[in-house]
Amino acid sequence: MFHVNLLLVFLSGLLPKILGSAADDLISIENEFWEWRLDDSPEFATLTGDFRHNDRLRQFGVDLFKPRNDKVEGFLKRVNAIDANDFNQKQLADYLIFKDSLQTYVDGYKWRLHNTLNPVNFLEGLTANPDHFVNTTPFVSRGDFENFIERLQNIPKQFSQYKDLMREAIKQGNTNNNVSMNAVPGQIDERLVDDVTKSIYYTPFITFLDESSVPDNVKTGIRGRAQTAITGIMEAYRDMKSFIQKDYMPNARTTWGVDGWKDGKGDYEACLKWHLSLDMSPKQVHDKGLQEVERIGKSMNETMKAIGFSGSIPEFFKMIRDEPKFHIHSAEVLLRKYEDIIYNQAFPKLDQLFKDIPNLPLAIQMMPYDGAGGEYLSGTADGSRPGVFYVNLRRPEDTATIDMMSLALHETVPGHHLQSIYALSASLPNYRKFQEDSNYYQPPLKFPFYTAYLEGWGLYAEYLGEELGLYDNDYILMGRYGSEMFRACRLVVDTGLHYFNWTRDQAVDYMLERTASSRTDLEHEVDRYMTWPGQACAYKIGELKIKELRERARQAFGSSFDVKEFHSIVLENGPVPLHVLEMLIDNWIKNESG
C-alpha cells in the first residue's frame, strides 16, 4: 500500500498531463475514497463482497467523529479543486453526486452529538436483528471462520463503545424517547442462551464447518474459541440490557419528537434534508402532506361512491379485511395471480412508456422468511442471478387482492425491478453501486443512500399503473389509493411529531382515520417515525419530485415531449440525490427543448 502510494505521487508529479486530467483525477479520488470507506466500515465491506476486512468491526466513539470528518473534508477539498468545465453529462453527474456524497457527510458533522449518539433501538442492530450479521458473512475457508471468530471477540468492545456514545447522549440531553427502547430488553432476552451452541452466532459452526475445507484437526479448536467468544457476547448483552434499563431509559427524552433536543428543530431540518436529498422545510413537507391527503381522500370518496359504499375510508378497508371474496387462501393461487399481473398485464405495456429496456431476468418466488407482503432483491449485472420478487406466502389470506396490483407494480415493473436493471446496466463507480443501507439512526451524519430516489420511483411506478390502465376496477383502484394515502400521511405525521409538537396518540389517530391499517400496526409505524426522524417522508416526496420534473419537461417540450426519453434519463444514472436528478432534467430541457 505504502509503496504504491509513493509511486503514484511520484509519477503524477512527472506526468501531470497524462495522469492529471480532470476525469482521471476524479476517478482516482473516488477509488481512494472507496478504499477508505471499506477500511473504515468493515461490516459494510463484507456486504459489498469485499472480504479483506472480515476480521474487524467498525469503531465507534465521540473522539472518532473529528478524524473521520477531517478525512472526508480532505476528499471534498480535492474534488472541489477539480475543473469540471469540460465534463460530459455523465462525468458531470458523477462529479456532482460524489461531491454531494462528501458534502452531505460534512454537513452532518455539526449534528454529531445528536442522532448518531443513539446506536441502539428496536428496529435495527445486533440487539434487534443479529441474523443479518451472521447470514451475510461467507463461511467457506478456514480464514472465513477465523475472521468471524475475531469479529465475535470484538462485539463486546463494540457494545462498550455504544454505551460510551449513549452516555454522551444522556449528558447532552439528546436521547431517544423510550418508544424506541421499550422493546429492546425483550429483544436481548431472545438472544440470551445458557448453552452457547444454541446462539445464532454459533449457527455457522454447525451448518457450514463440517462441509468446509477446514482440516479436521483444527475444527475442535475453532469450535472451542467460537464458544468462548459467544460466552463473552452473552455477557455483553446482559450488560447492555442492564445499562438500557438502569441508565438510559430513565433519561429517555420526554418529548415525542427530536424537537425536545438541544437545537432539535435544526436537527430535524437536517434529517429531512438528508433523507429527501432536497432542500425542503418541515412546514413545506407538512403542507404537501396535507394537500396530498386531501387530494387522495377526494379520489377515495369518489371511488367509494361509484362502488356504492356509503361508509368512511377506514370502514371501507375494514369491509375489505372481513370479506372473504377479497382474500385468497391458497399460497399457490396467490403466486399464480402475481405471475399473471406481472407477466401478462404489466410487462406487455411497458413499451408504451420505456425504451431500451435492459434484458435482465425477473423471478417471482416464495419469501424464505417472514417479512412484508412482498419484497424485491436486485439481481446481478450479468444476469446470472435474476432480480427476485419475494412473495410472503405464510399467511396468503393476509394479502387483500385489491392491494396486489399496486404492490406488484411497485416491486417489479415499472418499479424496483425496472429501476434496478437500468442501474445494473449503467456500470457505476463502486461508491454509487453500493450504498450502506443500514444504521438508519445515524443521519444526518452519514453518507447518503438515496431512499427518496429509490422509493420515490417505486411509488411513481404505482401511479404509472393508472396511465397504463392497469387498475381496471374500482376496488383495485381503492387498493392503490390506500397505499398512496399511507405515504402521504407520513409527511403530515413525521413532521407533526418532530417539529409541530404532535403527540403519539395524535399521530396514530390521524392515520387511523385515513388509512387501511389497524391501531396496533399504526403504533408500530409511528414509533418507527420517532426513531428515524424524516426517513418516512422520502417516499412521497421522491414521487412528487419525479412527477414535478416530468411536468416541467412536458411543458418545455410541448408536443415533442417524449416520456420514454424522460424515463431513460431518470433511470439510466442509477440512484441519485433528487437535486442532482433535477439538474439532469433541467440540462436536458435546456439542451434539447430548443
Ligand X SMILES: *[C@@H]1O[C@H](CO)[C@@H](O)[C@H](O)[C@H]1NC(C)=O
Binding footprint of ligand X on the chain (CB under 6 A): 178, 249-250, 252, 254, 294, 297-298, 301, 501, 503
In angstroms, give the least distance from the CB of 264 to ligand X. 11
Neighbours of 356 (CB within 10 A): 11
The dihedrals phi and psi of 391, each to the nearest 5 degrees, come to -110, 130
In angstroms, give the least distance from the CB of 175 to ligand X. 9
In angstroms, give the least distance from the CB of 252 to ligand X. 4
The dihedrals phi and psi of 218, each to the nearest 5 degrees, come to -105, -10
In angstroms, give the least distance from the CB of 241 to ligand X. 13
In angstroms, give the least distance from the CB of 547 to ligand X. 20
Nearer to ligand X by C-beta: 439 or 506? Answer: 506
Nearer to ligand X by C-beta: 135 or 501? Answer: 501
Nearer to ligand X by C-beta: 298 or 336? Answer: 298
**Counting beta carbons within 10 angstroms of the beta carbon of residue 345, is it exposed (0 to 12), middle (13 to 18) or buried (19 or more)?**
middle
- Please state, in angstroms and rounded to a whole number, the distance separating the CA atoms of residues 231 and 134: 16
Nearer to ligand X by C-beta: 121 or 420? Answer: 121
Query: Which residue minimizes CB distance to ligand X?
Result: 297
In angstroms, give the least distance from the CB of 418 to ligand X. 32
Nearer to ligand X by C-beta: 228 or 501? Answer: 501
Contact predicate 168/117, CB 8 Å: yes
SS3 readout for 308-356: CCCCCHHHHHHHHHHCHHHECCCHHHHHHHHHHHHHHHHHHHHHHCCCC
Nearer to ligand X by C-beta: 299 or 568? Answer: 299
In angstroms, give the least distance from the CB of 111 to ligand X. 21
In angstroms, give the least distance from the CB of 254 to ligand X. 4
Nearer to ligand X by C-beta: 254 or 473? Answer: 254
Nearer to ligand X by C-beta: 238 or 298? Answer: 298
Angle between helices 264-276 and 282-307 (to 10 degrees): 60
In angstroms, give the least distance from the CB of 527 to ligand X. 13
Nearer to ligand X by C-beta: 130 or 496? Answer: 496
Strand, helix or coil at 53?
A: coil
Contact predicate 209/223, CB 8 Å: yes
- Please state, in angstroms and rounded to a whole number, the distance separating the CA atoms of residues 14 and 563: 49
Nearer to ligand X by C-beta: 181 or 362? Answer: 181
Alpha helix (H) ranges present in 15-88?
A: 16-19, 22-40, 42-48, 65-80
- Please state, in angstroms and rounded to a whole number, the distance separating the CA atoms of residues 107 and 102: 9
Residue 387: in which H helix or E strand, if any?
strand 387-391
Nearer to ligand X by C-beta: 298 or 564? Answer: 298
In angstroms, give the least distance from the CB of 62 to ligand X. 23
Residue 374: in which H helix or E strand, if any?
strand 374-377
Nearest to 405 by CA among 342, 347, 348: 342
Nearer to ligand X by C-beta: 154 or 175? Answer: 175
Q: Edge to edge, what strands does the sheet with 374-377 contain?
A: 362-366, 387-391, 374-377
- Please state, in angstroms and rounded to a whole number, the distance separating the CA atoms of residues 140 and 212: 5
332: its cell numbers:
399457490
In angstroms, give the least distance from the CB of 304 to ligand X. 8
- Please state, in angstroms and rounded to a whole number, the distance separating the CA atoms of residues 466 and 481: 11
Nearest to 37 by CA among 502, 446, 521: 446
Nearer to ligand X by C-beta: 74 or 297? Answer: 297
- Please state, in angstroms and rounded to a whole number, the distance separating the CA atoms of residues 39 and 250: 36
Nearer to ligand X by C-beta: 178 or 495? Answer: 178
Nearer to ligand X by C-beta: 147 or 180? Answer: 180
Q: Which residues contact 386 (CB under 8 A, 6 or more apart)?
A: 360, 361, 362, 363, 379
In angstroms, give the least distance from the CB of 576 to ligand X. 34
In angstroms, give the least distance from the CB of 389 to ligand X. 33
In angstroms, give the least distance from the CB of 270 to ligand X. 20
Contact predicate 111/169, CB 8 Å: no
Cα distances (angstroms) measured from residue 84 to each of 78, 182, 390: 12, 50, 43
Q: Which residues contact 508 (CB under 8 A, 6 or more apart)?
A: 519, 522, 523, 526
Residue 90: in which H helix or E strand, if any?
helix 89-108
In angstroms, give the least distance from the CB of 261 to ligand X. 14
Match 361508509 to its residue by C-alpha cell: 311
